[in-house]
Chain A
Amino acid sequence: MKSFKVKNRNVILQIAGNTYRGSKNRNRLTILAIALTAFLITVVLALGISYWETVSTRTLYMQGMDFDIQLSEPREDQVEKIRSMDKVKYAGVMVKCAILEKYQDQDVHNMRMYWLDDTVWEKQCIPAMEECWGTYPRAENEIMLSWTALTEMGITDPQIGMKLPVTYYTLKEVEEQISLQKEFVLSGYYRDYSGIDRAYVSADFYAQTGVTQTDFTQGLLVITLKNPLYSKADIIEIQNQIDINRQTIDADYETISNFLQVLAGLTGFLFMIFLSGYLFIYNTLTISIAKDIHYYGQLKTMGMTAGQLKMLIYLQALWNSALGIPVGLLAGALVAQKIVPQILSIVNPVLNAGEIAPVQPWIYLVAVVFALFTNFFGSRRPAAVLAGCSPVEALHYLAGRQKIGRREARKEKSREERVRKEAQTEDGEKEEVGQRGFLPRMAAWNMFRDKGQACIILLSFTIAVTIFFLANVVVKQNDAKSILNAVSTRDLRILNETTMFEQKDLLSDEKIEEIRGLEGVKSVSAVTSCEIVVPYQEIYLTYMDSLHQSRYTPGNLEKDLESWKEDPEGPFWAPRLIGIDDIGFTLLNERLGGILDQERFEKGEIAAALNFIDLSPDQGLVGKKTEFYFPGQQEKPHYTIEIAALADPQFCPAYFGGGYLPSLIVSEAYAKQLSGTAFTELINITYDEAFLEATEQSVRSVFTGETQLSFSSKLEQYVDMKKSEDQVRVLGGSIGILMALLAILNYINMMAANIQNRSLEFAVLESIGMTVRQQKTILSLEGIGYAVISCTLSLMAGIPLGYLIFNSLKQYEQLPYIIPWGYNLLLIFTIVLICIFVPIVLYQKMQRQGMIERLKGNAEM
């Protein structure tokens, strides 16, 4: 008995071997499909995961610190309480205790000096540093600097232990700020991507400054939670336990929804890749199912059992997998290990190839399991069909028509009659006239003859084009130029850094005129500003009340109102008077919806008040008149002006802010008229041609050597943004192209199998008078049909989906949703061409044998 079984198995093995050898062409296609799928999954996963990891590390480096929430001015008891909470992983204190003004004679633009406790330094800072040299300051005169700070100081070759003579002042609240001199020793320096200039100092130095962690705006408790996905409720829970007074908790309440969005996007994307891969293998396996079933049916008539047949089928699947999977993995590994890091570092020069996260082995496992699963699942179909029918039925089996029941037959009949009637009424005199209707009808029928095949082709193309479309929406959304153009109208802003203190007239009228005269400069718009005093007035009560109810509460309302009445010139309250010119007015009025009357504004009859924070735009101020005067001129007559609008803080034309009371925006002419001269805080320059390097150079050369001006340039921003734009472009592009490639390969593969299968049919058609041209016409019509349907479907899905994605990724309100037609039309055009020509080329390659040969079915199965 046993020996019989063994023998039996040998026979199956033999038959399987013969069958396998006999269907070389098809096996080649299947192996290719399996290899390609394994390859693509490996590459896409590797690319995606390395990119994800690399980018999240980089985001951390850019933040400069690894934390979830921050509490301002923490009291010791609060620190204790928060550290003991279950939710909290780490909580460390950092205090801004001094401001570094100068290194030797070099102005360093108010660099902040912090003291960090061990928790912040070890758990929250170090992980977010790309590299760190030396140690945290221990001795009183030791200092640590960020790379950006070193650059700012003009130090390009830092040496640990080098002496750094600096000028600084402490943030201890005193009447008068006193600049101090000190020689620090560099104990260490670090590099991250935050671009923030920072100095870290020792505990001893911090103690000396006298600043405490509860000083307003100086101290911070930096908290890392155990679960980085926290909700607003979590924060409120923490807040309720620690008795907050005038403090703010800074947290991102959208972490969960952001995470879910990313997760959903990623899952959807992976799903599509897996689906495409699945369709790819599955279709290759099932496309010639009719032939298989015919063949297996024959074996069944010869007495092969269902079990033996299954064995036969799975053995072949196994051999295909054994050949295809290793090839795919090998190619995938090669690309993932060698080429992906290269691509990523080309895309993003900041990342060097070594930094990119290595491919994890589980990716290969996923690819193997997936390819195996699909292969066996696809192979199951002939087995399942065979199990359900008799040998004779198997011999008569036709793909797509296996279930001609009575009802279907009747449908068939009425369809035929309809076609016939149509045909009868048609005028068939001329060859073309007759053909014009006939061939397309035949093509349409062929397209959907095998519903599964049609579905797979349509689905894979639709998915690919949709993904390509979506990738392009995202790429377009990240287009640095269009973002910058949408976000800001100016090309260069020059800010006078002395505005708040020394008030040097660095942006004099002569300089402005000089810039106006430069070639390539379209316009220069100046913003003037000065401090004003607004005495206590009842019209501000609603505003003050709202302000005190906000998270930015300055303190107790009653007390604050008292102190305002007493000392309206105090730094807490005094707002600024901002003067704008025509260009500035046009911009502001545009943003305010055109509610300002230009003539009255020019004359100084009306002003726009500036909300300190995002309070609702009225606060009982609009339409009211306010009094104000210049500091120290309390005795002189006060000025009055009507507030015509309350503008949002982001509409502020000036850079420096004033106290809690709303600043007033008036016309430059009026400001000048009041104070005699007006101090120019900043100028905005637009060029004839945006992003033009030459113009930028000539403007900057006007101020050569001037250190107290700072430049904020669209061109520079563009250079920075270009990096991330390029990343998105290459990533999005390569994903889109990969998908398109997959769909095209899928199509080629499917069509190859299809034409191979139809080879007898083509021979028969030719023998009864269908010309090669007609056959090709039908094939290309089928291709066009697939292309047109899937591209239409993908646009129907892509346009609204793109809109959703666009909105969920939206960072700049001003950027409109633009359908990325360009590349998509190109892709659609390519797909149409491929759909037309692939079947024709395949037909030519595969139908070379003589007609009689093909009719005899010598063509291998």
Chain B
Amino acid sequence: MDILVTNQLKKYYGSGDTVVKALDGVDLSIKNGEFAVIVGTSGSGKSTLLHMLGGLDTPTSGTVLVDGKDISKMKKDELTIFRRRKIGFVFQNYNLLPYMNVYENMVLPIKLDGVEPDQNYISEILQIIGLSDKIHAMPGQLSGGQQQRVALARALAAKPAIILADEPTGNLDSRTSMDVLGLIKVSSERFGQTVVMITHNDEIAQMAGRIIRIEDGRCQPGTHTAEDEKCRPNRLHPDGPGTHTAEDEKCRQKQAVPDGIRPAEGEVEKA
């Protein structure tokens, strides 16, 4: 089942001679539970694509289907509600609310839905990203990398079906990058989430089930190996969490998981 599908997706800025084709006919489908990364040079249209996938921006033409629904046909508020329930988005520039502290920022989307946040889960996330002691800090009091992690924590807190992350590790050292990545992995496995992530880091890209290459607003074909194809996370656990097969397990080991991506249970509790 394809959870994210685009058809001839185009986004043009401006018109006439100065037109900028940020996306120029992207056909893409991402399967449920897949872990995909988008790579490409700066200005190639990655963020634009991710925004389109998340229903944050309206395409010039083409459609985006999320879970089979054409989001361009939704009313604005309908889309917003759909998004806050289904999609967790990590912005390239974080977009934290400056006058709310870390905790408030994290739980805001959940509260907006009229649901009480899962406190345990939130503490857990904060522990994994190492910000338990910053729960009351204001964004202005955090470093860039810390803010980035809060943005990720916010996207995960509502346990969305889809996580769209725009360079979630862009500001992080390699060790913290791995922690963050590990969190995304754990989360996606635990809740069967589909992940689409933009990165400039080849090492991280290599860990993904699938690599989507964007150049000049177009998807480059043949961007992933046959082995990648076999090891797509959706094949690892097609029916959601807890249904790993032996083959999944094998594939995962092949993926050269570096230390620290997935913290040991003990570590989580200690942190």
- Which residues from chain A sit less than 8 Å from chain B, CB to CB? 396, 398, 400-401, 404, 409, 412-413, 416, 420, 423-424, 426-435, 438, 449, 761, 763-774, 850-852, 855
Closest Cβ–Cβ distance, residue B227 to chain A (whole Å): 36
* Given A432-B114, A434-B114, A768-B154, A396-B77 contact (CB < 8 Å): no
Residues 111-148 of chain B: 1 if any A CB is under 8 Å from the residue's CB, otherwise 0? 11111110100000000000000001010110000000
B57 within 8 A of A: yes
Contact of B51 among A409, A435, A852 (CB under 8 A): A852
If A420-B103, A428-B115, A772-B76 touch, does A767 touch B89 (CB 8 Å cutoff)? yes
Asked if B84 is an interface residue, CB under 8 A from chain A, the answer is: yes
- Tell me the complex Cα distance, A454–B101, Å: 22
- Whether the pair B57, A772 counts as a contact (CB closer than 8 A) is no
Tell me if B56 is interfacial: C-beta within 8 Å of chain A: yes
Q: B111 touching A851 by the CB < 8 A rule? A: no
Residues of A within 8 A of B119 (CB): 420, 424
Q: Which residues of B contact A850 (CB under 8 A)?
A: 57-58
Q: Closest chain B residue to A450 by CB distance?
A: B99
Which of B51, B99, B112, B141 contacts A770 (CB under 8 A)?
A: B112
Residue numbers of B with Cβ under 8 A of A are: 51, 56-58, 76-77, 80-81, 83-85, 89, 91, 93, 95-99, 101, 103-104, 108-109, 111-117, 119, 136, 138, 140-141, 154
The distance from the CB of B260 to the nearest CB of chain A, in whole angstroms, is: 29
* Given A851-B56, A852-B51, A855-B91, CB of A434 within 8 Å of CB of B77: no
Complex CA distance for A423 and B118, rounded to whole angstroms: 11
Contact B95 A764 (CB under 8 A): yes
The 6 closest A-B pairs by CB, nearest first: A769-B84, A434-B114, A428-B116, A431-B114, A771-B77, A769-B109
B101–A773 contact, CB under 8 A?
Answer: no
Q: Report yes or no: A769 in contact with B97, Cβ–Cβ below 8 A.
A: no
CB neighbours (8 Å) of B117 from chain A are 423
Partner of B99, one of A438, A449, A769: A449
A413 to B98, CA, bound (A): 16
Select one of B58, B83, B114, B140 contacting A428, CB under 8 A: B114
Do B104 and A416 have beta carbons less than 8 Å apart? yes
* Chain A residues closer than 8 Å to B77, beta-carbon distance: 771-773
Cβ of B104: which chain A residues have Cβ within 8 Å of it?
416
CB of B20 to closest CB in A, whole Å? 14
**Residues on A with beta carbons closer than 8 Å to the beta carbon of B76:** 771-772
Complex Cα–Cα for A748 and B173 (A): 48
| Nearest-neighbor residue (CB-CB) of B102 within chain A | A416
A475 and B114 CA atoms in complex are apart in Å by 50
What would 20 A/B residue contacts be, using CB atoms closer than 8 Å?
Answer: A398-B98, A404-B138, A428-B114, A431-B113, A431-B114, A432-B114, A435-B114, A761-B97, A761-B98, A767-B91, A768-B95, A768-B109, A769-B81, A769-B85, A769-B109, A770-B84, A770-B112, A771-B81, A850-B58, A855-B56
Assess whether B89 is in contact with A768, with CB atoms less than 8 Å apart. Answer: yes
B95 partner residues in chain A, CB cutoff 8 A = 763-764, 767-768, 855
| A434→B84 CA distance, assembly (Å) | 15
Point out the residues of chain B lying under 8 angstroms from A772, CB to CB: 76-77, 80
- In angstroms, Cα B140 to Cα A409, docked, is 13
7 extra A-B contacts, CB within 8 A, seeds A424-B116, A768-B95: A416-B103, A435-B114, A761-B98, A763-B95, A765-B108, A771-B77, A773-B77
Cα A430 to Cα B116 in complex, Å, equals: 10
In the bound complex, what is the Cα–Cα distance between A676 and B39 (angstroms)? 124
Which residues from chain A contact B103 at a C-beta distance below 8 Å? 416, 420
Task: Report the nearest B residue to A434, measured CB to CB.
Answer: B114
Chain A residues positioned under 8 Å from B51 (CB to CB): 852
A850-B57, A850-B58, A855-B95 known; A768 vs B116 contact (CB < 8 Å): no
Shortest distance in angstroms between A803's beta carbon and chain B's nearest beta carbon? Answer: 43
Cβ A769 vs Cβ B112 within 8 A:
yes
**What CA separation (Å) do A532 and B87 show in the bound complex?**
105
CA–CA, A137 and B99, complex, Å: 85
Q: B99 CB to closest chain A CB, in angstroms? A: 6
Question: Known contacts A413-B136, A430-B114, A434-B114; is A768 also within 8 Å of B98 by CB?
Answer: no
A200: min CB distance to chain B, Å: 80
A406, chain B: closest CB distance, angstroms = 12
Contact A769 B140 (CB under 8 A): no
- The answer to whether B116 and A423 touch across the interface, beta carbons within 8 angstroms, is yes
A852:B57 contact, CB within 8 angstroms: yes
Residues of chain B contacted by A401 (CB below 8 angstroms): 99, 138
Query: If A428-B115, A433-B114, A764-B97 touch, does A770 touch B140 (CB 8 Å cutoff)?
Result: no
List chain B residues, Cβ under 8 A from A398: 98-99, 138, 140
* Docked pose: A852 CA to B166 CA in angstroms: 13
Given contacts A398-B140, A404-B138, contact A426 B116 (CB under 8 A): yes
Contact A412 B136 (CB under 8 A): yes
Distance of A769 Cα from B138 Cα, bound (Å):
21
Asked if A769 contacts B113 (CB within 8 A), the reply is yes
- Residues of B within 8 Å of A427, CB to CB, are 116
Q: B218 to nearest A CB, angstroms?
A: 20
Residues A416 and B136 in contact, CB atoms below 8 Å apart: yes
A434 in contact with B115 (CB, 8 Å): yes
Nearest A residue to B96, CB-CB: A764
Contacts of B80 in A (CB 8 A): 766, 769-772
**How far apart sit A398 and B96, CA to CA, in the bound complex (Å)?**
14
Q: How far is the CA of A769 from the CA of B58 in the complex (A)?
A: 16
A441 to chain B, nearest CB (A): 10
Check if B114 sits within 8 Å of A438, measured CB to CB.
yes
Q: Chain B residues with Cβ under 8 A from A416's Cβ? A: 101, 103-104, 136
Chain B residues with Cβ below 8 Å from A768 are 84, 89, 95, 108-109, 112, 154
Picked from A438, A763, A769, the residue with its CB within 8 Å of the CB of B83 is A769
CA–CA, A432 to B112, complex, Å?
10
Contacts of B138 in A (CB 8 A): 398, 401, 404
B6 to chain A, nearest CB (A): 17
Smallest CB separation, A681 vs chain B (Å): 81
Task: Give chain B nearest CB distance to A29 CB in angstroms.
Answer: 22
In angstroms, Cα B56 to Cα A764, docked, is 11
Separation of A409 and B103 alpha carbons in the complex (Å): 14
Q: Which of A409, A426, A438 contacts B136 (CB 8 A)?
A: A409
| B111–A434 CB distance below 8 A | yes
Q: How distant is the Cα of A398 from the Cα of B97 in the complex, in angstroms?
A: 11
| CB nearest neighbor in A for B52 | A852
The answer to whether A765 touches B140, judged by C-beta atoms less than 8 angstroms apart, is no
